[in-house]
Amino acid sequence: MTTSYKQKLSPWQVYQLNYYGKWILLNSYRSRTDADNYAKLLRQASINPVKVVFDHEC
């Protein structure tokens, strides 16, 4: 699978675990700080686990 130029600019991805046990990609960010801040907000607002991942394939 090829990645677009825009996807390569945003390697930090935020995932949330849904009720069926699958990780869902919510958003991608250029910086880890932005991704961590978004994940922090999600953790405060939701009971579902959240994780920040670096996509090394970009």
> What is the per-residue pLDDT for 12?
96
Identify which has the larger pLDDT, 6 or 54: 54
What's the one-letter identity of residue 10? S
Count structural domains, the chain.
1
Rounded alpha-carbon distances, angstroms, from residue 37 to 27, 44, 51:
12, 11, 11
Pick from 22, 16, 25: which is nearest to 44 by CA? 16
Q: Are strands 50-54 and 23-29 parallel, antiparallel or unpaired?
A: unpaired
| Structural domain range at position 25 | 5-54
Does the reported pTM lie above 0.75? Answer: yes
> How high does pLDDT run on average in the chain?
90
